[in-house]
Amino acid sequence: MPVPSLSPSSRPASRFDRLDALRGVAILWMATFHFSFDLNHYGLLTPAQHFLSDPFWTLQRTGIVSLFLLCAGLGQAVALQAGQGWKRFWRRWLQVAGCAALVSAGSAMMFPQSWISFGVLHGIALMLLLVRLTVPPLQRLAGATAIPLLFILGGLAWFAPGWLQHPFFNTRWWNWTGLITQLPYTEDYVPVLPWLGVLLTGVGLGLLLLTHRRDWLTGPIPAVLQPLARLGRWSLTFYMLHQPVLIGGLLAWLAFVHV
């Protein structure tokens, strides 16, 4: 499931409160989804829910992942325009990649048959690296046309699996591409394609807003929404901690009621 987007963690708290608040909305939505999944997993929802087939849940998952990756793209647009150096990028990227490895290890212990080999953290780590390697050269070469080109590339990435899929990519070694003909049996799966399309769209939208409507990202937000902005700035930490806390709380409750 979704994970927080990369964003420059040391920027002033009030600078991009609207973007942080949007990320906070995605986090709360994700936590609600995960808590519902946990309740169902431990038999506490009646009737039992079908998270893998019921459109009520599958469409929510798509919406949550899309919102997180859109925020990731917006955050990268901010970082690129601010001239974020490679040293800072690598420091944050290693945090995300390290957390992805922890997610794989933890899921292997809890779900040995359906452990996460390429979930949302793995996807974000690889996609952000691709963005960092390709968008700045595109900006230098294309100038003002780079933004519409990002939207075009995003659309191509979104539809690519339908055009290029092949059974060769169905193994764990290659399903990270997204060019599969059969969904893998795993607890989380966010391949590069089509999801790179959402992140590229976020980058393009972010660069567009920073050029023409910067206040849409930097303007003030009501005091009641400030907690969302603060939550959005600690998104990776929240992501890594929320499931252990939720599952631990549920297990403690189940142990208590069965004493």
* In the chain, where the domains are located: 17-257
User: Residue holding tokens 């990776």?
Assistant: 236
Give the per-residue pLDDT at 1: 54
User: What pLDDT does residue 259 have?
Assistant: 54
Q: Give the pLDDT score at 200.
A: 97
Predicted pLDDT of residue 9: 40
* Tens digit of each residue's pLDDT, the chain (259 residues): 554 454 444 344 337 999 999 999 999 999 999 999 999 999 999 899 999 889 999 999 999 999 999 999 999 999 999 988 999 999 999 999 999 999 999 999 888 988 999 999 999 999 999 999 999 999 999 988 999 999 999 999 999 999 999 999 999 899 999 999 999 999 899 999 999 999 999 999 999 999 999 989 988 899 999 999 999 999 999 999 999 999 999 999 988 887 5
Q: What single string gives the DSSP state of each residue in the chain?
A: ---PPP--TTS-TTTTHHHHHHHHHHHHHHHHHHHHHHHHHTT-SSSPP-TTT-HHHHHHHHHHHHHHHHHHHHHHHHHHHTT--HHHHHHHHHHHHHHHHHHHHHHHHH-TTS--SS-HHHHHHHHHHHHHHHHHHHHHHHGGGHHHHHHHHHHHHHHHHHHH--GGGGSTTTGGGS--SS--SSS----HHHHHHHHHHHHHHHHHHHHH-THHHHS---GGGHHHHHHHHTHHHHHHHHHHHHHHHHHHHHHHHT-
- State residue 110's pLDDT score: 83
What's the confidence (pLDDT) of residue 15? 72
Q: CA-to-CA distance for 213 and 232, rounded, in angstroms? A: 21
The pTM is what?
0.89
